[in-house]
Chains A and B, each alone.
Chain A
Amino acid sequence: MSLLQSLYLPLRLSWRQLRAERARLLAAMAGVMFACVLVFMQIGFRAALFDSATALLSAMRAELFLMNPLTTASFRPEPLPRIRAQQALALAEVRQSVPVYMAQVTWRNPESGTRRAIQLVAFDIESDAMGFNGLAALADRLKQPDAVAFDRRSRPEFGDVGRLLAGQPGTPLPVQIGGRQMNVMGLVDIGPSFGADGNLVLSETNFRRLLPNRSVANVDLVALRLQPGADPVATQARLKALLPEDVVVLTQPELVAWERRYWEEATPIGFIFTFGSLMGLIVGMVIVYQILFSDIAGHLREYATLKAIGYSNGYLARVVLSAALLLAVLGFVPGAVVSAVLYDVVGSATFLPLGMSWSRAGLVFGLIFGMCAAAGLLAMRKLRDAQPADMF
């Protein structure tokens, strides 16, 4: 038998066997599909968590950042002395130093009047240090007293600010923020994260109006924009030498990784999703194992007959493995389709960035494939019970 035949013929045999019992095949496919959807959702949530948690930081247009080393996550910053922002300008490579202020305050829903905590992101709007969509058009209006921009992707519990604004073109929307009357001038795109349900962007001056008790000597983050052609890593090293120990100097990828590490390590969330994926795979494996095992147990005489007429153990093992792999493919395809639909539904309900990608589909297929192969290898042990000597 050629290599191709020795793979194709067992595959065809196992397909014919699977096809013969529709109900069992459907049950097995449903099991694989279930595992597939579960893993897709868990992996999707996990990635969405990390993507959304770092969306704000990723949107900042700066090469280096100064941060208090005690800051664990951006939604809960420890302050650092504002003077560090000025000190960083001592280096010729640093073109611009932008202090960023972050705090959470309560927002009163302009429609229902309920209150909810919202994230403030304040900085010198003219600095162009933040790449939020829609911000550039609002830059001038945000300089007005008590002006803010609202993140259109904030959770709906904050009220349908977009609709209210559209209903009164050219007029700001008055809202109560942290006990002060402020005006929403327009909308920007940031997106909620697990740490913040919604965002407001405002100028440094308006931030001070809103939170007058905050010390003017403190900032929460400093974004450093470098001269064109300056090497961020070399500049980072020089800044570390220049600045005292009460700040860390991070590149943007390091800042994003810092934030990510908080969610991965300091919260159970990352573990929960990994655990959820694992559970899905185990349940799927048990289902596939059961199906394959009962297939073998129900066909022991036939398998023994095949051994008697000269088929090898290896051939029968390939039949069982082929069945496992067929189930992987047959369950994965509808599972991926269902997951893509669920991503859309859940994504629009939770405002989390859930999306199907080829690389994720590939990863999940690999996991499902491995799950089915493991089930097949376990079920294969039952083949030993097929004894051709007992046939007569």
Chain B
Amino acid sequence: MADPVVLEEVSYAFGEGELRRAVLRDVALRVMPGEIVLLTGPSGSGKTTLLTLIGALRAMQAGRARVLETELAGAGEGQRRALRRRIGFIFQNHNLLGFLNARQNVAMALELQAGLTERERLSRADAMLASVGLEDHRHKPPSQLSGGQRQRVAIARALVGDPGLILADEPTAALDKASGQEVAALLRRMARQRQVPILMVTHDPRILDMADRIVTMEDGRVVPALPAG
């Protein structure tokens, strides 16, 4: 099985001409199957930009990037959208749709898959909510859930479509210590069960122990690796 994420010589800059500011310089990064990689570094080091490139949310400028066997250099919006459907995203804010309840939010991630009936979508959403411990809350809208519960719904939404990769951006930043650790542990357990690799940007020192490997970035470059733990 090929590595889910392979980046070589990826560079990226914002702005034009004199205002051009490089945020990524010759980044190389590899995530192996089933691996949990944390990306840390000071703000402005380019880790979020890197995440949006891997997540096909932005078009590549220079370098080569293969994500889930899709070459991102020169990929059009259609190809990138197709790739995004195979990635589970977890955001700093849960970004659930406020007018949908928990199971409808999770089922939204399945509406893009052809050949599923409404019943199948909802039963898969229910099963996923049960596995994140929210089976009793599936009919509640996000406004009636706690911060940790919302982030668990977001995890369920990211995982329900059986993604080949999970990209997470500070998923615990908005949570208190207990629920942050709970969410991190849940994410780690779910990813391990399914053998899904995770690439997570985080500043949160409380959850660094969940990683197989920690990659540190500074000034748009990857700092040579430290052993985890």
Contact = CB atoms under 8 A, between A and B. Distances in A.
Interface of A: 1-2, 5, 9, 13, 16-17, 19-21, 299, 301-302, 304-306, 308-312, 388-389, 391-392
Contacts of B157: 309
A14 B144 CA distance: 21
A5 B120 CA distance: 14
B57 A309 contact: no
Contact of B55 (A13, A20, A308, A311): A308
Nearest to A298: B98
A389 B99 CA distance: 23
A130 B82 CA distance: 75
Interface string B53-82: 001011000000000000000000000011
Given A2-B114, A13-B108, A305-B97, 10 more contacts: A1-B111, A5-B111, A19-B99, A301-B95, A309-B112, A310-B85, A310-B112, A312-B81, A392-B52, A392-B92
A369 to B, nearest CB: 24
Contacts of B48: 392
A104 B114 CA distance: 75
Given A308-B55, A392-B52, A302 B97 contact: yes
B89 A308 contact: yes
Contacts of B81: 310, 312
B100 A16 contact: yes
DSSP class of A's interface residues: helix, strand, loop or mixed?
Answer: helix
Contacts of B109: 309
B57 A308 contact: yes
Contacts of B93: 301
A301 B89 CA distance: 14
Contact of B57 (A9, A299, A392): A392
Contacts of B111: 1, 5, 9
A310 B112 CA distance: 8
Contacts of B95: 301-302, 304-305, 391
A8 B154 CA distance: 24
A309 B96 CA distance: 12
